[in-house]
């Protein structure tokens, strides 16, 4: 691997281009400081794009006036040269386009790259194996050509013809008249239109074609073929399961949700056609490989124009085609659901650092002593105004571990929530199984006083010191719709030196954002409060609480159904 002279690079914003020995551009990037960025590639212990560096033989650069100019120059150069390693939207997955070649009898291919060759490219998909199976099913129904152009021009029938996968158009068009050839082209064009419209959400023509062939097979008593067509139909239905109409005006477009976890961007892009969800792309990207603005442009290059909205813990990107469409709230919930599923799948992979990054964020944010690898949450609830119970959920590595879920029937009579919580804590501490790293108590600040009371016993205080105990308090955020709204102006004591219309009263009006609070105990058992951020890391705590609630509610419903009997 070559090593450039870092000192020759200026400390200015600009564009850098890695090239191979044939002067082919391998990678294009931008930087606020060219010298610092190039040094990162060649510094000891760097893992940045090692495969690309093994092919590179030199690095060129272009100086620009500012970072904004670098951003758009980078975008234009990537569009122009399409370097092999500028795969921002691919991350660790490989997305596939369906390509329909520009010919009288087009080929239908799968390709990783979209180039300007006059062909039609259909949305990138994230399941190549599924696409291959799907095209195989379509060939059995529509019998489009599968041979290469050189073979087609020779007019020689291949095995596909004899296996009923092709109608032998290469032979028939070569030997037939101009009129016959034109008829074949028109017929083939209808097939291509059906395939294209299917991927854009219009599934009816293909379904109708299958039903027609099933009826023909039954008429000729070819029940084996009818059963085969029925299986193909069911397989295609499985392929289009997610194509449920969710946009009433049947628009084309996309929306994307981007979040930051540790040193990675995680994102999901929902792709719509004719108002139907036709693809979901979820992946991650190292933040060191791209800055957020570059990442947004990578999505724009792939899917088209967008509008952007940056929130406290996330970025929302939506195509201009339905930026004004109503009902987007449900779509963002859908995107959030796909993103959460992706995070869980990544957490289950041993090589993934995503869950560890979230644990580290939580530990530092809330000043915990331990990494919250095992989390338990206690919730106290009542049934029919009495019969108080305690409920305990357990998360290990951010995932529910139902083996250790517990229900505690409160033994003391006429106990309030605090007494019930004290009983559950005492029984939990006495149990033989291992203690959690973090124990969550629902409801708020007052519940931590129960912990302080238990710590008066030296033995229990020693046990409590081995775990982090926190309490979640909702307050005005009890209703989720209130979160991040501003409270009514409250009167707070005037700080000396301030000027205010209320100065003569000694008070000043102050706005305050509504959010839930996390209450913790320091080593001196003093209670501290920190507002929740509601990002992906905080969701681990919220998930533990929600699991405790779900566990309690499911039992209550069971009890109610039994009492009705």
Q: Is 461 helix (H, G, I), strand (E, B) or coil?
A: helix
Cβ count near 537 (within 10 Å): 26
What average pLDDT does the chain have? 76
Please give the average per-residue pLDDT across 381-406, as a whole number: 80
* Domain 6-81 top-level CATH class: alpha beta
Tokens 């994102």 locate to: 267
For residue 67, what pLDDT band results from cuts at 50, 70 and 90?
low
Q: Is 101 helix (H, G, I), strand (E, B) or coil?
A: coil
Asked if the model's pLDDT at residue 543 lies above 60, the reply is: yes
Asked if the model's pLDDT at residue 389 lies above 50, the reply is: yes
Q: Which two tokens stand for residue 346?
A: 């990544």
For residue 498, what pLDDT band results from cuts at 50, 70 and 90?
very low
Integer Cα distance of 97 and 122 in angstroms: 6
Please give the average per-residue pLDDT across 409-413, as a whole number: 80
Rounded to 10 deg, the angle between the 67-81 and 292-303 helix axes is 40
pLDDT, tens digit, for every residue of 176-187?
A: 677 777 888 888
Beta bridge partners of 548: none
437 Cβ neighbours under 8 A, 6+ residues apart: 370, 371, 372, 373, 374, 375, 467, 468
Identify the DSSP state of 66.
Answer: S
Asked if the model's pLDDT at residue 477 lies above 60, the reply is: no
> pLDDT higher for 127 or 423?
423
Give pLDDT, residue 116.
75
pLDDT, tens digit, for every residue of 414-427?
A: 667 788 888 888 88
pLDDT, tens digit, for every residue of 289-346?
A: 556 777 777 777 777 778 888 877 788 888 887 766 666 777 787 788 778 767 766 6
Q: Is 411 helix (H, G, I), strand (E, B) or coil?
A: coil
Q: Which two tokens stand for residue 274?
A: 């004719």
Give pLDDT, residue 325.
65
For residue 505, what pLDDT band results from cuts at 50, 70 and 90?
very low
What are the residue ranges spanned by the domains of the chain? 6-81, 96-239, 253-347, 358-474+516-564
pTM of the model: 0.53
Find the length of the chain: 565
Pairing, β 314-319 against β 253-261: antiparallel
Give pLDDT, residue 508.
47
Q: How far is CA 274 from the centre of its chain?
A: 23
Evaluate whether 6-81 and 358-474+516-564 have a shared fold.
Answer: no
Cβ count near 364 (within 10 Å): 10
Asked if the model's pLDDT at residue 52 lies above 50, the reply is: yes
Give pLDDT, residue 136.
83
Asked if the model's pLDDT at residue 557 lies above 70, the reply is: yes
- Cα–Cα nearest to 417, from 451, 452, 389, 377: 389
For residue 240, what pLDDT band results from cuts at 50, 70 and 90?
low
Instruction: Give the whole-number percent of the chain exceeding pLDDT 70.
Output: 76
Give pLDDT, residue 91.
40
Q: Is 163 helix (H, G, I), strand (E, B) or coil?
A: coil
Please give the average per-residue pLDDT across 151-164, as a whole number: 81
Integer Cα distance of 369 and 503 in angstroms: 44
Asked if the model's pLDDT at residue 248 lies above 80, the reply is: no
CATH of domain 358-474+516-564: 3.30.420.340
């Amino acid at each position: 691997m070559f090593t450039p002279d870092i000192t020759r690079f200026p400390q200015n914003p600009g564009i850098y281009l890695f090239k191979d020995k044939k002067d082919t551009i391998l990678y294009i990037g931008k930087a606020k400081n060219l010298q610092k960025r190039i040094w990162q590639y060649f510094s000891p212990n760097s893992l940045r794009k090692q495969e690309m560096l093994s092919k590179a033989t030199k690095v060129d650069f272009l100086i620009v006036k500012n970072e904004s100019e670098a951003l758009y120059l980078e975008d234009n150069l990537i569009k122009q040269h399409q370097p092999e390693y500028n795969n921002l939207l691919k991350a660790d997955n490989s997305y596939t386009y369906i390509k329909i070649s520009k010919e009288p009898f087009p080929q239908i291919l799968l390709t990783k790259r979209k180039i300007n060759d006059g062909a039609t490219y259909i949305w990138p998909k994230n399941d190549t194996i599924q696409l291959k199976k799907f095209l195989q099913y379509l060939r059995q129904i529509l019998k489009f050509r599968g041979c290469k152009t050189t073979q087609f021009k020779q007019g020689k029938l291949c095995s596909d013809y004899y296996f009923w996968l092709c109608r032998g158009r290469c032979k028939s068009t070569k030997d037939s008249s101009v009129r016959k050839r034109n008829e074949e082209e028109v017929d083939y064009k209808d097939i291509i239109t059906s395939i294209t419209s299917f991927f854009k959400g219009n599934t009816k023509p293909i379904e109708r074609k299958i039903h027609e062939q099933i009826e023909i097979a039954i008429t000729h008593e070819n029940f084996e073929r009818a059963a085969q067509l029925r299986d193909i139909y069911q397989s295609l239905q499985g392929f289009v399961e997610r194509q449920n109409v969710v946009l009433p005006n049947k628009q084309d477009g996309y929306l994307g949700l981007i979040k930051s976890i540790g040193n990675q961007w995680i994102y999901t892009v929902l792709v719509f056609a004719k108002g139907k969800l036709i693809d979901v792309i979820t992946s991650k990207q190292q933040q060191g490989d791209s800055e957020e603005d570059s990442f947004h442009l990578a999505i724009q290059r792939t899917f088209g124009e967008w509008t952007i909205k940056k929130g406290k813990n996330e970025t929302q990107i939506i195509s201009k085609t339905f930026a004004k469409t109503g009902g987007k709230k449900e779509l963002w919930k859908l995107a959030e659901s796909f993103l959460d599923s992706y995070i869980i799948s990544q957490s289950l992979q041993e090589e993934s650092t995503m869950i560890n990054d979230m644990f580290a964020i939580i530990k530092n944010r809330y000043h915990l002593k331990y990494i919250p690898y095992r989390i338990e949450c206690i919730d106290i609830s009542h049934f029919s105004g009495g019969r108080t119970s305690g409920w305990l959920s357990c998360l290990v590595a951010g995932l529910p571990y139902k083996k250790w879920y517990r229900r505690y029937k409160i033994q003391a009579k006429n106990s309030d929530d605090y007494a019930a919580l004290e009983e559950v804590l005492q029984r939990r501490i006495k149990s033989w199984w291992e203690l959690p790293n973090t124990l969550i108590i629902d409801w708020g600040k007052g519940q931590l006083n129960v912990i302080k009371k238990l710590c008066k016993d030296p033995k229990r205080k020693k046990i409590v010191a081995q775990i982090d105990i926190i309490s979640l308090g909702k307050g005005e955020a009890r209703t989720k719709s209130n979160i991040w709204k501003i409270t009514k102006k409250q009167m707070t004591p005037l700080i000396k030196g301030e000027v205010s219309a209320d100065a003569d009263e000694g008070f000043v009006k102050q706005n305050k954002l509504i959010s839930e609070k996390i209450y913790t105990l320091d080593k001196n058992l003093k209670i501290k409060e920190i507002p929740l951020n509601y990002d992906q890391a905080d969701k681990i705590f919220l998930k533990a609480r929600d699991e405790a609630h779900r566990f309690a509610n499911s039992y209550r419903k069971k009890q109610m159904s039994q009492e009705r009997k």
